[in-house]
Structure 1
Amino acid sequence: MVTALIVAAGKGKRMGLGYNKQYLLIDGKEVISRTIDVFEEAEFIDNIVVVVSKDEIEYFKENIVERYGYKKIEAIVCGGEERQHSVYNGLVECKRSDIVVIHDGARPFVKKEHILETINMAKKYGASALAVKAKDTVKLVEGDFFQQTLDRNSIYFIQTPQTFQYQLILRAHEYAKEKGIFATDDTSLVEQLGKKVAVVEGSYDNIKITTKEDIYLAELILKKMKFFKKEVAIFV
């Protein structure tokens, strides 16, 4: 069984909206709904677990799950203090799963073919994640000065989904909990076990909506997607 674990418990303080950025409307539809749509429509995803803040569970049920009639959402889980805690809470609900696809609720433009590729790589290697190559020159800074220019061909910016064999990612989280290890993403926890994570090259459109500037970028990406969809329809 392949489960999509969508993490949507963050408050998005950097956005300064006064409410969770997951419910921000882009072209009339919530960010979180656009994200769920991708996994709901993907035939290779068997079920979905969503992690939301405790005080938003009822709102999410009524205004997202029931409103859009999602069929694959099997559990809505209460988030924790940090993202790492939220993911672990979600993993506990994935006991029947063989593969878990962990994805940020604020990344609504992930492509289905990229999700599938992470699943295939996780089946083969145990762990995989989407990433994109650095476009700009990357430098190491110490204090007030540049110390070293890094080879940008070897630098990738990590994205989600990050996809794992269930027992591996559960063990990584339990090990981190036992050792007091905190990380900003799940691949880092797997690396703590000495395991390698396979790279799947993703898309620069797979942005995480974090700041107000990202809203305008998201609207442009959506317009581009609609334009190319129309172009394809014309030539089919």
Structure 2
Amino acid sequence: MVFEKFMKKYAIIVAGGSGTRMGGSISKQYLEIGGKPVLMHTLEVFFNSDSSINLILVIPESDFELWYKLCSAHEFSIPHQLVKGGSSRFQSVKNGLLHILDEDGLVAIHDGVRPFVKPEVIHESFKVAAQEGSAIAVVSLKDSIRRVGEDSKSVFQERQFFRLVQTPQTFQIRKIKKAFKTEESPKFTDDATVYEHQGWQVSLITGNPENIKITTPEDMNYAEFLIGKNP
């Protein structure tokens, strides 16, 4: 039996987006909520949940100077390693994995613009990944759904058979490193699909609904609400 508490833990925080849907000049991961950039909240929740987690932040190399200035301005001192992002999310995650020298242990891969993941979800992801090889945070659907075909006709789908996928997506390091040695494909929509490409079944855990991916101005408004609700 694998004992998760004795395994070395990493978290790759990926934030390579340009933030074009925000309509502003600064990428969404550097916008402030609750008085500091989104990314700092995300790093904090991982650090506060378990300070032994080795944090790796993947951002565009062109943003390094901006990030150093933000850290100085906000007196942000949580230890983390800065890694340059790639031309796609797949390549950015791969770059982060290359900076993990350990073959054993666990790694959580998390969107930098999801600052509201609950500590208990992070803990559960490491626990389940240690036992099963992977742990993917998901939430149930609340709305009815329909599948639309190429002919524009729609078909009702039973929502209880579907889940919305979040991050963290946590894996045993040896397995996810092997998975990312494959060639990038458009069908790799997240890290779980890369893992599945090896023929491995992913294990699902319950995420938290507040763990939104901040993408639009409306998301920023909701984020400010959540910050105010849980200061």
1:35-75 per-residue CA deviation (whole Å, 9 max, x = no partner) reads: 0111121226431011011101122133227831113x1x2
Select which of 85, 96, 100 maps to 2:107: 100
Partner residue in 2 for 1:186:
191
Q: Distance in 2 between matches of 1:46 and 1:112?
A: 12
* Counterpart secondary structure, 2:122: helix
Q: Is the 8 A contact 1:176 1:189 kept in 2?
A: no
Q: Residue 107 of structure 1 aligns to which amino acid in structure 2?
A: R
* Equivalent pairs, count: 221
AA partner of residue 156 (structure 1) = R
Counterpart secondary structure, 2:170: strand
| C-alpha distance in 1 between matches for 2:85 and 2:23 | 20
Equivalent runs, 1:61-72 vs 2, <5 Å: 61-64=68-71, 67-71=75-79
Task: Measure how far apart 1:120 and its partner are.
Answer: 0.7
- The equivalent position to 2:176 in structure 1, one of 142, 146, 169, is 169
Alignment of 1:1-236 (within 5 A): 1-43=8-50, 45-64=52-71, 67-71=75-79, 73=80, 75-96=81-102, 98-142=105-149, 143-146=151-154, 148-177=155-184, 180=185, 182-226=187-231
Aligned mates of 1:119, 1:10 — CA distance in 2: 26
Instruction: Report if the CA contact (8 A) 2:34-2:228 is conserved.
Output: no
> Structure 1 CA distance, aligned partners of 2:27 and 2:93?
18
Deviation at 1:115, TM superposition (A): 0.5
Question: Residues 182 and 152 of structure 1: is their aligned pair in 2 closer, same or farther, counting only changes over 3 Å?
Answer: closer
Q: Single out whichever of 46-55 and 216-225 deviates more from structure 2.
A: 216-225
TM value normalised by structure 2: 0.91
- SS at structure 2 position matched to 1:162: strand
SS of equivalent to 2:183: helix
Local SS of the residue matching 2:171? strand
What runs of 5+ residues in structure 2 fail to find an aligned partner?
1-7
- Decide which structure has greater helix share: 1
Deviation string for 1:165-216 (max 9, x for gaps)? Answer: 0111111111234xx5651200001111111111111111000000111011
Q: Take 1:144 and 1:182, find their aligned partners in 2: how far apart are those partners? A: 22
Normalised by the length of structure 1, the TM-score is 0.89
Residue 109 of structure 1: SS of its match in structure 2?
Answer: coil
Tell me, what secondary structure is at the counterpart of 1:160? Answer: strand
List structure 1 runs of 4+ shifted beyond 3 angstroms: none
Contact 1:22 1:30 survives alignment (8 Å): yes
Q: Secondary structure at the match of 1:69?
A: coil
